[in-house]
């Protein structure tokens, strides 16, 4: 599948599903989805602009798929990859699925700080990238510097969703996919009565609104703060299969359960799947 080829929209259990999880350039069971596409385009563009970089580095939680996604992209471009973690230990890295998968794709793992806090990890990763001359794939995949490329890639995927929908549901982490989908809805003149943003991370409302404004889009959305819901634990996985489709246990499965538990509308509605959990290594 080419990087900008449209992934299908399917009707499953009386609801539309945008199947970004079917973007699988490295084969079934490997890393996949919209975040992989964004990373592919990001690294390709960065390498054309920054010829001095000797490899790629990213920093994230040990539960995040960003590590194996970045590692797979680095391998594709024939570059070394460093994954910077904080607030963890060698036992967790050896046993957790995301670090193991990143190493499977050839990444070198480094614990750069005792703290896993974003600002601490970001600074340590920056220092490491300067020392080793590495391009940094940031959390949220560099929207500030490469927003037009990344958001356009998401927006183009809106082309084949139905022209008229009552509701669309988007799982929100960093806010890139959410912003790109909303931009695409406006760009391709899709009539969507209600855009639902179900957050599995810290509040990104202002970030999304700022991004939309930057790209000339003014559109309201309904924000569902799943992250701060009582009992929500990011690291805890949720198992959920809909019509034979296994939803990502840390993201879409939680959003779908929220949708069901709160009796949100599913008639003439679309659920956006960003990606699926890769096969365990």
Which domain, by its residues, includes 14?
9-28+153-273
Whether residue 264 contacts residue 274, with contact meaning beta carbons closer than 8 Å, is answered with no
Q: Do residue 260 and residue 158 come from a single domain?
A: yes
Could you read off the pLDDT of 104-128 as tens digits, one per residue?
999 999 999 999 888 899 999 999 9
Element (H, E) at 143: helix 143-156
- The structure's pTM equals 0.94
Tell me the CB-side half-sphere exposure of residue 131, using CA atoms within 13 A: 7
pLDDT for the residue 138 = 86
Cα gap 132→82, rounded to integer Å? 10
- Residue 194, in any domain of the structure: yes
pLDDT for the residue 140 = 65
Cα gap 157→208, rounded to integer Å? 18
Q: Do residue 170 and residue 216 come from a single domain?
A: yes
Q: Do residue 14 and residue 109 come from a single domain?
A: no
Q: What's 109's domain CATH number?
A: 3.40.50.1100
Whether residue 79 contacts residue 45, with contact meaning beta carbons closer than 8 Å, is answered with no
Whether residue 8 contacts residue 22, with contact meaning beta carbons closer than 8 Å, is answered with yes
DSSP 276: -
């Amino acid at each position: 599948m080419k990087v900008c080829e449209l992934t299908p929209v399917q009707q499953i259990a009386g609801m539309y599903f945008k199947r970004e999880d079917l973007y699988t350039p490295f084969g079934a069971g490997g890393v996949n989805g919209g975040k992989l596409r964004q990373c592919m385009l990001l690294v390709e563009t960065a390498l054309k602009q920054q010829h001095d970089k000797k490899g790629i580095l990213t920093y994230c939680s040990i539960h995040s798929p960003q590590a194996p996604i970045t590692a797979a992209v680095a391998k594709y471009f024939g570059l070394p990859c460093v994954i910077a973690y904080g607030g963890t230990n060698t036992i967790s890295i050896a046993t957790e699925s995301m670090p193991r998968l990143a190493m499977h794709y050839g990444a070198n793992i480094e614990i750069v700080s005792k703290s896993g806090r974003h600002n601490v990890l970001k600074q340590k990763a920056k220092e490491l990238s300067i020392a080793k001359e590495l391009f940094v794939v940031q959390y949220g995949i560099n929207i500030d510097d490469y927003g037009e490329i990344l958001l356009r890639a998401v927006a183009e995927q809106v082309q084949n969703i139905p022209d008229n929908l009552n509701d669309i549901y988007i799982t929100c982490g960093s806010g890139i996919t959410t912003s790109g989908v909303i931009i695409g809805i406006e760009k391709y003149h899709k009539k969507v009565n209600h855009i639902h943003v179900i957050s599995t991370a810290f509040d990104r409302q202002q970030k999304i609104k700022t991004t939309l404004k930057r790209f000339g889009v003014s559109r309201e959305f309904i924000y569902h703060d799943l992250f701060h819901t009582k009992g929500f634990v990011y690291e805890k996985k949720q198992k959920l299969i809909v019509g034979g489709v296994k939803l990502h246990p840390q993201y879409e499965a939680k959003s779908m359960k929220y949708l069901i538990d709160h009796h949100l509308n599913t008639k003439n509605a679309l659920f956006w799947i960003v990606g699926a959990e890769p096969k365990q290594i």
